[in-house]
């Protein structure tokens, strides 16, 4: 009997929430539909949703992964959709559930054009993921000097440490790392990279 009452009580709470929060339910519904349109490259459907008065679906997040539409298109290395979503107001600094911003993701997969597009639209270059890894550290790990140059030109701090206490410069100095990695840092770091307060670990 107790179990039955508990079931009815739970159902009532759920029903009450759905009735009392129609706006929230609509937001999640619209957000889901927008992310599906982005995943399926349905440009017309996505455009129509963005044109709705007061629409904020461009920054909708997947409730499971925390990914936005920008994460989705960056992950498939889709420069056209990346530029379009940024133009439509997509926030390049929203992190997924692992603390990865689209810029970190673009760096991890070597999407150079995506990195350039994100930086041009205000992506924060030193925001780190949950392990404290910045885009520049990721670029050093992958030995991608082109990405390193773009990130350093964008103001990346080569001395910002991850959660282990090591910075991009530290990793570049490790045994076995080609000398060109450290050379890329030293020849491209900006004089103002150390300006202001240094922040360690992920930024939310």
Give pLDDT tens digits for 119-160. Answer: 999 999 999 999 999 999 999 999 999 999 999 999 999 999
Phi, psi of 67 (to 5 degrees): -70, 145
For the chain, 204 residues long, the average pLDDT of each consecutive 10-residue run is: 42 38 56 96 97 94 97 98 98 97 98 98 97 98 98 98 98 97 95 46 39
Q: Where in the chain is the domain with CATH 1.25.40.20?
A: 29-97, 125-188
Residue 28: per-residue pLDDT? 63
List the structure tokens of 105.
Answer: 């993701």
Domain 29-97 is in which class?
A: mainly alpha
pLDDT tens digits for range 15-33: 333 434 444 444 468 999 9
Q: Which helix (H) or strand (E) holds 26?
A: helix 22-39
Q: So what's the architecture of 125-188 in CATH? A: Alpha Horseshoe (1.25)
Phi, psi of 37 (to 5 degrees): -65, -40
| Exposure string over 144-181, b if 16+ CB within 10 A, otherwise e | bbebbbbbbebebbbebbbeeebbbbbbbeeeeeeeeb
């Amino acid at each position: 009997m107790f179990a039955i009452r508990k079931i009815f009580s739970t159902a009532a709470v759920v029903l009450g929430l759905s009735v009392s929060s129609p706006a929230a339910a609509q937001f999640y519904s619209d957000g889901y539909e927008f992310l599906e349109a982005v995943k399926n490259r349905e440009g017309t459907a996505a455009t129509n949703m963005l044109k709705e008065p007061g629409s904020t679906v461009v920054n909708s997040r997947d409730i499971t992964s925390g990914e936005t539409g920008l994460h989705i298109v960056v992950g498939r290395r889709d420069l056209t959709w990346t530029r379009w979503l940024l133009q439509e107001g997509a926030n390049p600094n929203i992190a997924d559930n692992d603390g990865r911003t689209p810029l970190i993701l673009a760096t991890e997969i070597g999407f150079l054009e995506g990195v350039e597009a994100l930086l041009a639209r205000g992506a924060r270059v030193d925001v780190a993921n949950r392990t404290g890894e910045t885009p520049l550290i990721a670029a050093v790990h992958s030995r991608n000097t082109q990405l390193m140059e773009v990130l350093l030109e964008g103001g990346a701090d080569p001395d910002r440490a991850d959660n282990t206490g090591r910075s991009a410069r530290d990793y570049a100095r490790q045994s076995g790392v080609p000398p060109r990695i450290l050379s890329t840092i030293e020849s491209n770091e900006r004089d103002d990279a150390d300006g202001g307060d240094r922040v360690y670990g992920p930024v939310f």
